[in-house]
Amino acid sequence: MVWLIPAFKDLYLKIKRHRTHILNTIRYGMSNARIEVTSVIFMIWDNFFVGIYTASESVAFYALIRLHHVCSLEGLTATYEVESAALRGMGKSLEPSIITILGTVVFRIIWLATVFRLVPILNLASFGGRNCINFLFGQD
């Protein structure tokens, strides 16, 4: 094949060589998009989904708070969970375990021991992203 522009040949060869990695990256991005779409669906029809589990208004009030906190950051959770699973699939188990423990357990313990102790309200205990930003920057 005769190449008119040598740079295109180099690009073509790089894409051909890394085709599997490029496709896996696209699949990974699409899986995160599906997770985000699912989270948005749960947040839009929140009363319906909470109503499946309880009829009590007081329980539903706190369930809605928790649902919005969990769904608002679910895309971030997917980023480290999928990468940890990929590392486990490659035969490495220590690194993903440390990443998961630091990302979920240690950070939450530090959060509860510092910020939640100062302001003990449910919004800060369940650590919603919006509430964290509001607390740190003093916005209402």
pTM of the model: 0.53
> How many domains does the chain divide into?
1
Report the percentage of the chain scoring pLDDT > 70.
71
Instruction: Indicate the DSSP class of residue 92.
Output: -
In degrees, rounded to 5, the angle at the alpha carbon of residue 132 between the alpha carbons of residues 136 and 104 is 125
Asked whether residue 5 is domain-assigned, the answer is no
Asked whether residue 102 is domain-assigned, the answer is yes
Structure confidence by residue, pLDDT tens digits, 20-56: 766 776 677 677 778 888 888 998 999 999 999 999 9
Residue of 44, 107, 45, 43 whose CA lies nearest to 69: 43
Domain that holds residue 127: 22-137
Confidence of residue 127 (pLDDT cuts 50, 70, 90): low
In degrees, rounded to 5, the angle at the alpha carbon of residue 135 between the alpha carbons of residues 61 and 33 is 70
Please say if the pLDDT value at position 6 is more than 80: no
Instruction: Indicate the DSSP class of residue 98.
Output: H
In degrees, rounded to 5, the angle at the alpha carbon of residue 129 between the alpha carbons of residues 127 and 133 is 105
Asked whether residue 119 is domain-assigned, the answer is yes
Distance, CA of 74 to CA of 77 (rounded, Å): 5
Confidence of residue 140 (pLDDT cuts 50, 70, 90): very low
Structure confidence by residue, pLDDT tens digits, 64-108: 888 887 787 777 776 667 777 777 777 777 877 787 777 777 877
Task: Evaluate whether 15 touches 33 at the Cβ level (below 8 Å).
Answer: no
Asked whether residue 15 is domain-assigned, the answer is no
